[in-house]
Amino acid sequence: MRAFNFFRVLLSLPFVLRGAQAQFDTPPTNLTTGFVRLPHGTRQVSWIYSPNGIVIYDGDIVFGTIAEFNDALVNITHSPDDSTLSRRHDIPSQGLATRAYSEPPGGRLWPGGIIYYRYSDTNVESAASTEVNFAISTWTAAVPCIRFVRLPNDNKPTNGIVTIVAHSTNFGYCAAALGYTPTPMWLEVDPSGCGDSTMLHEFGHLLGLYHEHTRPDRNNFVKFNCNNVLSPKCCGSSCCGLACAFSIDPGHYPSPEYDINSIMHYPSWAFNNGMGSTLTDLSNNVLHNPYISLSPLDISRVRQLYFCPVVSPPKCNKACSTTPGKCHPTAQTCVPPAPGIPNPRLACSCRAGFKATNPGIADGDVTKQWRLPAPEGNFRVWVAEGVECNTPCTVSTGAFSCQEVTELAAECLHT
């Protein structure tokens, strides 16, 4: 009962409601499962047929039209109106190397880093443009060598263009195409809103990023608790229903680091049935940071994919100077991260519930703002000298406040 109450409280928090409630709290249940030929191999996935005539798999990835999907379909192992599951084991193994979840340079990436998009009509534009513009401005600020070009709503042809379409209100998800293809692509939104974090996630798919939590090395960093997934589901060597959204995908582009803070990583409460976390760390603790903002590794990966200079942020920011006037008037001057910490690394501190002033400073820009794993809590935002702190955090009070700002390592508490 404690776990149930905790997750219902967590789902009621403003940052969850704003960021991903429709995506995870009320997902579609009419899922079909089977083996499908995907760009990098055949694997078992679950999918739905969108009201717009497109197929969505792995929770929120647009495959394409129903006709295109049927051409790639190998077999169906489970359908919504069939309680039996035909388990199939004759699909060749893909191998389990350490992978990052993104296209390789030269893969399904946007030529020249230019992403063309349009809205299907003015109603969709009115409903979705605020969140779309937020995602575009956030990604382009972090990766300046990509560019989004808006085309007229009635632009023809649509090959090589993302069309932003809407389904019926509160249908339960938002979804995007994975990388570039020279055919029509879609970003499907809920007209009642996807939420800022979900839109950042969907634009990550458009740029070529996969789900981080399905990497082959996932189990070295987090635990998947299949019994806590909403029905329909099947747990075991074969998956069905919503459990397939967590199944391991072989991937293809090497990276040494698993990114538990990635915008592409599902949070602990994703598709949970009220009985506990679907994803935890190896000590069974809730994951607080995924699916909130762009992580430094998200930014570095997309920079690498599109041949931008990869800027490695400092591991720890330099301590601030005690000289008066170094911190902005909206920030406390040179305070320790918590009382009693030996050799504390002093920094300018935003007042409770505030972060660096937008626009211009991304939540994941740890050269300008960051959080620390202080013993009293990780909810305070610290900023570089001269940075203004006048933007309210997504959640402004409590233990989960300001979680959209990236947290640095514990070593950054000390000099």
Query: What are the boundaries of each domain within the chain?
Result: 1-312, 314-415
Picking from 20, 99, 87, the residue whose alpha carbon sits closest to that of residue 60 is 20
Q: Determine the pLDDT at residue 81.
A: 67
Contact of 389 with 367, CB cutoff 8 Å: no
Low-confidence ranges of the chain (pLDDT < 70): 1-29, 81-107, 168-172, 251-256, 288-289, 310-314, 376-377, 399-400
How many CB atoms are closer than 10 A to CB 220? 10
Q: Determine the pLDDT at residue 310.
A: 67
Q: Determine the pLDDT at residue 236.
A: 81
Structure-token pair, residue 84: 């039996």
Q: Determine the pLDDT at residue 314.
A: 56
Phi and psi based region of residue 17 (left: phi greater than 0; alpha: psi -120 to 50; beta: remaining):
alpha
How many CB atoms are closer than 10 A to CB 9? 11
What is the C-alpha to C-alpha distance for residues 355 and 328, in angstroms, rounded to an integer? Answer: 12
Contact of 314 with 296, CB cutoff 8 Å: no
- Tokens 């299907």, residue located: 120
pTM (2 d.p.): 0.70
What is the C-alpha to C-alpha distance for residues 177 and 205, in angstroms, rounded to an integer? Answer: 6
Point out which residues pair with 349 in neighbouring strands. Answer: 332, 382
What is the C-alpha to C-alpha distance for residues 120 and 253, in angstroms, rounded to an integer? Answer: 33
205 is in an annotated binding site: yes
Task: Show the CA angle centred on residue 291, arms to residues 287 and 296, nearest 5°.
Answer: 95
User: 171 — phi, psi (to 5°)?
Assistant: -70, -25
What is the C-alpha to C-alpha distance for residues 70 and 61, in angstroms, rounded to an integer? Answer: 16
Q: Determine the pLDDT at residue 123.
A: 94
Contact of 361 with 387, CB cutoff 8 Å: yes
Question: Would residue 202 show up in a list of annotated catalytic residues for this protein?
Answer: yes
Query: What is the pairing mode between strands 279-281 and 185-189?
Result: unpaired
213 is in an annotated binding site: no
How many CB atoms are closer than 10 A to CB 310? 11
Q: Determine the pLDDT at residue 14.
A: 29
Q: Determine the pLDDT at residue 82.
A: 55
User: 336 — phi, psi (to 5°)?
Assistant: -75, 155
**DSSP-derived 3-state class of residue 105:** coil
Percent of residues in the chain assigned helix, strand, coil, to nearest 5: 20, 25, 55
Contact of 43 with 63, CB cutoff 8 Å: no
Q: Determine the pLDDT at residue 212.
A: 92
**DSSP-derived 3-state class of residue 82:** strand
- Candidate list 202, 385, 404, 407, residue with the active-site label: 202
User: 211 — phi, psi (to 5°)?
Assistant: -75, 125
DSSP letter for 401, please. Answer: T
What is the C-alpha to C-alpha distance for residues 372 and 378, in angstroms, rounded to an integer? Answer: 5
What is the C-alpha to C-alpha distance for residues 193 and 199, in angstroms, rounded to an integer? Answer: 9
What is the C-alpha to C-alpha distance for residues 142 and 139, in angstroms, rounded to an integer? Answer: 5
Helix pair angle (122-142, 196-207), 10° resolution:
70
Q: Determine the pLDDT at residue 377.
A: 65
Q: Determine the pLDDT at residue 9.
A: 24
Superfamily assignment of 1-312 in CATH?
A: Collagenase (Catalytic Domain) (3.40.390.10)
Task: Show the CA angle centred on residue 253, arms to residues 250 and 258, nearest 5°.
Answer: 75
